[in-house]
Amino acid sequence: MKLDIAFKNIEIYDGLGNPPVKGNIGISSGLIVYPLDKETLKYAVRVIDSENLCLCPGFINIHSHSDMPLLVDGRVPSVIHQGITTEVTGNCGYSLAPLYGSSLDEIRREFKRDFDMDVTWNDFNGFFNLIEKQGTSVNVISLVGHGTLRGSVIDRSDRHLTKDEMVRMKEELHEAMKQGAAGFSTGLIYPPGSYAPTEELIELGETVRETGGYYASHIRGEGDSLFDAIEEAITIGFEARIPVEISHLKAAGERNWGKTEHTLEMIRDARNKGLYIQHDQYPYTASATGLSMMVPEWVHDGGTDAFLSRLKNESTREKILKEMDYRGYVNGRKVLVSSVNLEKNKKYEGREISEIAGEKNVFEFILDLLFEEEGSVGAIYMSMDEEDVRRVMKDPFTSIGNDASASATEGPLFRGKPHPRTYGTFPRVLGKYSRDEGLFSIEEGIRKMTSLPAKMLGLTDRGIVKHGMAADLVVFDRNTIEDRGTYKEPHNYPKGIEYVIVNGHIVLDRGEILSDMPGKVLRRICNS
């Protein structure tokens, strides 16, 4: 048997949570050859002596926002450098298909503003085909974003759907699933998703169930209304009879710290009653989203142009200022600006809002900045407690997802001062929380990044080290693996990831990204 690559004397973690075993493992025609005897080892084109290294399945990032970066630079360096071999896009109700009406207008605006690119597709077939044509270093899976879907069918207005509009929503959703989407996501704090009643989501969830996908939800509230929001996600799961993934489970705002103990109980209770439900998390005490979320929901009604018009109107602006309360997050002294577009405002990136506002009212500064940047300002919120992070992470049904858009230390993806989760999520789990703090074993940390998300995604050919499985693999040094990004200096690749293999091809070789882009779009097979 001819082997393309073989790793000799390496510590092998299977992804299922079992203790590692020392041995040899090979790759042939994109598939794992394991176990591998010494005689067969001789037929490898390249043998890597890995005495002090560990090997495990490639990390599956079940919650990413690399939709746009994948089309800008398919190598997605911040993704590959932390051992991710599969990116799941289309989260938080935002996806790059289907694109019609106001959703097409909004995303076309984003592409032009951020990368001077145009949108040349409308459906998932077009999006997936473009990714494959341009090439990517990682495998790609996408969900259907509810917000994108709603904006494509009606617009971004705060109103309920008519019967005919609901029929069209379900038809578009069904078609997206037929084209290979893996499920359906919501961002219920973000307009227009926030305008949807629970009943709308249940009905759409039924369509996803019929086609064999799952429901991922950025729930309706992560602070004061956390319990009600968790209950809504559970209700949708039971009523639609569909698996549920709760996105980046947390408790935001100091007065809500400790609530994760009860939310985990709620989730366990639902699971005991027959709902397949799990959750994901990034290992940090800060969240990140748009600064525009500081503004009351009604200001967003109608999309970006309507939003900017309200900020400009003097009387409306006064009303906005009176209602701004940080929506249960934190005070302005604990919010950082992470990204802007205008050169004159770049000096604000990485700095606290209270500092850069100076003597100016913080709320007024926020509105001025949002207006100048056409609503597009990234922000980091120091909103969570370390004990909640640890409690959620330790739960056996917690997958890991970085909730980030791919970045790079140079080139078109080098932008702003993003959340350090962009570069360090997966190494941080294995380095800080497993090796250094002993929150769980290395093998358990790996399971959270591999077989556990693979199960939710319906992946049967990856996420486990087993003979004949797809050769998505990570080789790392357990003694040195660590994240290196900070909130002030996030653009630092992690240490300790030596090799990353995607579909049998090395894409990271001793820390260097190679030009080969063997990634695939992993289209889910639709049941109907």
In-domain check, residue 62: yes
In-domain check, residue 157: yes
Question: What pLDDT, on a 0 to 100 scale, did the predictor assign at position 528?
Answer: 75
Angstrom distances, CA of residue 229 to CA of 33, 91, 198, 234, 250: 45, 17, 10, 9, 12
Query: Contact at 8 Å (CB) between 161 and 211?
Result: no
In-domain check, residue 355: yes
In-domain check, residue 46: no
DSSP secondary structure string for all residues of 237-249 = HHHHT--EEETT-
In-domain check, residue 527: no
Query: Contact at 8 Å (CB) between 212 and 524?
Result: yes
Q: What is the DSSP letter of 8?
A: E
Residue at which a domain ends, from 382, 414, 432: 382
Within 10 angstroms of residue 415's Cβ, the number of other Cβ atoms is 20
DSSP secondary structure string for all residues of 464-488 = S--TTSB--EEEE-TTT-B----SS
DSSP secondary structure string for all residues of 251-313 = --SGGGTTTHHHHHHHHHHHHHTT--EEEEE-SSSEEEEEGGGGS-GGGGTT-HHHHHHHHHS
Q: Do 432 and 334 sit in the same domain of this protein?
A: no
In the Cβ-directed half-sphere of 52, how many Cα atoms lie within 13 Å? Answer: 6
Question: What pLDDT, on a 0 to 100 scale, did the predictor assign at position 285?
Answer: 97
Q: Do 308 and 248 sit in the same domain of this protein?
A: no
In-domain check, residue 488: no
Q: Do 249 and 214 sit in the same domain of this protein?
A: yes
Give me the domain span that covers residue 366. 289-382
Tell me the β-bridge partners of 526: none
Sign of CA dihedral 491, 497, 499, 502: negative
Residue 117 phi, psi (nearest 5):
-120, 160
pTM: 0.97
Q: Do 195 and 161 sit in the same domain of this protein?
A: yes
Six token digits for residue 136: 């990517």
Angle, in degrees to the nearest 10, between helices 198-211 and 226-240: 40
Q: Do 300 and 184 sit in the same domain of this protein?
A: no
Q: Do 369 and 405 sit in the same domain of this protein?
A: no
Q: Do 440 and 335 sit in the same domain of this protein?
A: no
Q: State which residues of the chain have pLDDT below 50.
A: 326-332
Q: Do 377 and 388 sit in the same domain of this protein?
A: no
Number of compact structural domains in the chain: 2
Q: Do 387 and 373 sit in the same domain of this protein?
A: no
In-domain check, residue 117: yes
| Contacts of residue 108, Cβ cutoff 8 Å, sequence gap at least 6 | 118, 119
Q: Do 343 and 427 sit in the same domain of this protein?
A: no
Give the residue from 243, 237, 226, 144 showing the smallest Cα distance to 189.
226
Question: What pLDDT, on a 0 to 100 scale, did the predictor assign at position 331?
Answer: 44
Query: Contact at 8 Å (CB) between 214 and 243?
Result: yes
Angstrom distances, CA of residue 96 to CA of 3, 6, 67, 87, 367: 38, 38, 7, 14, 28
In-domain check, residue 179: yes
Q: Which residue has the tokens 């260097």?
A: 512
Calculate the CA 364 to chain-centre distance. 31
What dihedral angle (degrees, nearest 10) is formed by the CA atoms of 427, 447, 476, 410? -40
Q: Do 296 and 167 sit in the same domain of this protein?
A: no
Six token digits for residue 77: 């360096």
Residues 48-91: tens digit of each pLDDT: 999 899 999 999 999 999 999 999 999 999 999 999 999 999 99
One-letter amino acid for residue 159 of the chain: R
Q: Do 176 and 325 sit in the same domain of this protein?
A: no
| Contacts of residue 369, Cβ cutoff 8 Å, sequence gap at least 6 | 291, 337, 340, 345, 348, 377
Residue at which a domain ends, from 431, 460, 489: 460
Q: What is the CATH number of the domain that holds 131?
A: 3.20.20.140
Angle, in degrees to the nearest 10, between helices 362-372 and 314-323: 130
One-letter amino acid for residue 289 of the chain: T
Residue at which a domain ends, from 382, 399, 414: 382
